[in-house]
């Protein structure tokens, strides 16, 4: 089990104030890592950091706009000074929006170009590229470490209604492969890059698609999801922790450039 030990490691989680980010912060802390929680909402970042401290590790919350590279640079500098070194970067910024989602009343042809661009920028640029440039440079110039992007099972099977989100998450996994090769060719085994592709987890971003806001019952789309998930349920945020710790630790020392689905079998199921 020493292979999975993260004691002495410092992890930065972008988008750490969200539902999935919260459990990922808790999971890495339970393995011994100190945690820097970054989120657009400073109060949520500090709240998560406060809950992480029960694991007797250093934890701080930071306000960061991952769409703004200057904000990323400023916070990265602060974390470096306060934590000393950065070993793990988890890029968990992402999400979808109604204006970029087709429906019975909104066709693909009428989707807002601005909304689609925002979703692509949020998931690809803010969710992978920009943080990897800033934190990746710091890590590469020091002792190295691991970068873990959060993709989606949309990478394997694009879903109806979410063209911008599906395209962006596919790009995240492609970028993960590209960056893994680049880092390996330039820095050897010093800096690894992988991704996790969550299946269906109820979050603030997709709840409006999966459940009825008033009754809480599954929508027709929510029922379709469950029917096409062999395990027959939504994922629990804690289900991501084991894969995250594995990719963050020495247990995956010879693993780089992969996207691991954590989806209850959704990406493997043909529907019959």
Residues recognised as catalytic: 165
Full DSSP string of 118-167: HHHIIIIIIIIIHHHHHHHHHHHHTT-EEEEEE--GGGTSPPTT-HHHHH
Our measurement of the distance from residue 54's CA atom to the centroid of its chain's CA atoms, rounded to an integer in Å, reads 23
First to last CA, the chain: 39
In this structure, the number of other CB atoms found within 10 A of the CB of residue 172 comes to 24
CA distance 138 to 66: 17
CA distance 133 to 111: 31
CA distance 191 to 144: 5
DSSP single-letter state for residue 219: P
Which residue in 87, 110, 88 sits closest to 98, CA to CA? 110
Full DSSP string of 24-88: HHHHHHHTT-EEEEEESSHHHHHHHHHHHGGGSS-EEEEE--TT-HHHHHHHHHHHHHHHS---E
Cα dist. 109→103, 135, 163, 220 in Å?
11, 38, 11, 23
């Amino acid at each position: 089990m020493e292979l999975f030990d993260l004691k002495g490691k410092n992890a930065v989680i972008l988008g750490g104030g969200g539902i999935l980010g919260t459990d990922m912060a808790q999971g890495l802390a339970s393995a011994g890592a100190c945690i820097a929680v970054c989120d657009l909402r400073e109060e949520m970042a500090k709240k998560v950091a406060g809950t992480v401290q029960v694991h007797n590790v250093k934890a701080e919350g930071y306000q960061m706009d991952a769409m703004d590279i200057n904000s990323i640079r400023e916070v990265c500098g602060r974390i470096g000074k306060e934590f000393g070194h950065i070993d793990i970067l988890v890029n968990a910024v992402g999400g979808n929006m109604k204006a970029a989602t087709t429906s019975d009343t909104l066709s693909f042809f009428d989707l807002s170009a601005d909304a689609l661009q925002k979703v692509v920028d949020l998931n690809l640029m803010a969710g992978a590229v920009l943080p990897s440039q800033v934190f990746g440079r710091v890590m590469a110039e020091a002792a190295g470490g691991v970068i873990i992007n959060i993709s989606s099972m949309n990478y394997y099977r694009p879903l109806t209604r979410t063209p911008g989100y599906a395209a962006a998450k596919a790009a995240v996994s492609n970028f993960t492969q590209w960056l893994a090769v680049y880092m390996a060719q330039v820095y050897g085994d010093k800096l690894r890059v992988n991704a996790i592709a969550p299946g269906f987890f109820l979050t603030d971003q997709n709840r409006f698609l999966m459940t009825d806001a008033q009754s809480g019952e599954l929508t027709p789309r929510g029922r379709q999801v469950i029917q096409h998930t062999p395990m027959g349920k939504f994922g629990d945020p804690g289900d991501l922790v084991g894969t995250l710790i594995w990719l963050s630790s020495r247990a995956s020392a010879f693993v780089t450039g992969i996207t691991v689905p954590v989806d209850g079998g959704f990406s493997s199921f043909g529907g019959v």
